[in-house]
Amino acid sequence: MKRPTQADVARIAGVSRATVSYVLNDTTDQRIPISPETRQRVLDAIAALGYEIDARAQALRSGETKTIGVLVPMYENPFFWQILLGIASEAEANGYSLLLAHNILTPEQQTRSIRELAEQRVDGLILMISFKELSESIMTQVRKSSRPIVELTASESEFDVVRQGYGDGARALMTHLFDLGHKRIGFLFGVTLRSQGKDRLTAYQYSLESAGLGVDDSLIIQCGEQMEDGYRAALGLLSRPDRPTALIAINDLLGIAAIRAAADLGLRVPDDVSIAGFDDITFTRYSVPRLTTVTGSPEQNGRDAVRLLLKRLAEPDRPQEVITADWRLHIRESTGRAP
């Protein structure tokens, strides 16, 4: 059957098509008087015909899609889902829907995903990666699209940004381990690009130097970002005769994998080795032992990203805004006195 149009609604209600449009969009602001009776006739005709607003046509006319594009870097890590929950909640509260693109942190997939988002009809973009990690051609394409962009990143940004730096939190974690007597502290650097997590690695190295311990590069193990990668890296590091007494993982997923590796080697956590991570994903409160971790308020960060984007849509020429995310050190059962 032919889809009902506004002209059909106007004919049934006995009004002009413009009146139907005014009722549907509620854009008169009382400047064009429409009686309650007329409004009701239009609403009755809409119900009788089963008329539905064509969102695509409406978007073409207004230039707005009420859609936000979001680039999610890694579905497997619950930390990004916590950010996404905040984004979704704030977007829905403001009448926006989301268009998601995901990649697993390889440059080729990042480029493909951001190109797909840039080519879609979205009002703005939220990137859970550093814009600078994209290729120059893609950065140029996104800039030319003139869509507002908000980044959730620890890096410097040319756009509005929710800065999720863990540098201060990492230094607090190192101080906690020093206070427990640890001097040989390993670091699981599970990233695809070395620029990712650099704030935590730099803080780790700075803390060792400041404590007069020096940095032993053999205790820094770069691996992939999957749990199996962290498990294998931890096995190798903890199998050494001069193994570290504490181990920091770049995120909680790898920290939980390291706990499993320690158990498989017959090591007790934290009696034989202390283990800690970052992000405070839900699993950390249910692992055995519960994982010491640094958190960064991911849901609030997601909400803040949407608010920055909506501000930019309302005021395109406003100065750049930077929101620095809070952090907190949660000391749990996986860290203890150095053996």
Q: Per-residue confidence at 44, pLDDT binned at 50, 70, 90?
A: confident
- Predicted confidence at residue 59, as pLDDT, reads 47
Percentage, residues of the chain above pLDDT 70? 82
Distance CA 76, CA 190 (A): 14
Q: Is the dihedral of CA 338, 198, 189, 117 positive or negative?
A: positive
* Domain 6-53: CATH superfamily, name plus number: lambda repressor-like DNA-binding domains (1.10.260.40)
- Region of 252 on the Ramachandran plot (φ > 0 left; ψ -120 to 50 alpha; else beta): alpha
Asked if 39 and 23 count as a contact pair (C-beta separation under 8 A), the reply is yes
Report the chain's mean pLDDT, rounded to a whole number.
85
pLDDT tens figures, 172-191:
999 999 999 999 999 999 98
**Intrachain domains 64-165+298-326 and 167-296 with the same fold:** yes
- CATH level 3 topology of 64-165+298-326: Rossmann fold (3.40.50)
- Predicted confidence at residue 49, as pLDDT, reads 82
Residue range 167-296, CATH number: 3.40.50.2300
Whether the pLDDT of residue 29 is over 80: the answer is no
For 212, 309, 310, the CA distances from 315, given in Å and listed in that order, are: 50, 10, 9
Whether the pLDDT of residue 60 is over 70: the answer is no
- Predicted confidence at residue 231, as pLDDT, reads 97
- In this prediction the pTM is 0.76
Q: Per-residue confidence at 293, pLDDT binned at 50, 70, 90?
A: very high
Whether the pLDDT of residue 57 is over 60: the answer is no
Average confidence (pLDDT) over 247-258: 96
Q: Per-residue confidence at 76, pLDDT binned at 50, 70, 90?
A: confident
- Predicted confidence at residue 133, as pLDDT, reads 62
Distance CA 240, CA 272 (A): 13
- What DSSP string runs through 200-266? HHHHHHHHHHHTT----GGGEEEE-SSHHHHHHHHHHHHTSTT--SEEEESSHHHHHHHHHHHHHTT
Distance CA 277, CA 284 (A): 9
Q: Per-residue confidence at 55, pLDDT binned at 50, 70, 90?
A: very low
Spell out the alpha helix ranges (H) of 95-215: 107-119, 136-145, 167-179, 198-210
Domain boundaries along the sequence of the chain: 6-53, 64-165+298-326, 167-296
Residue labelled with tokens 């207004």:
62
- Predicted confidence at residue 116, as pLDDT, reads 65
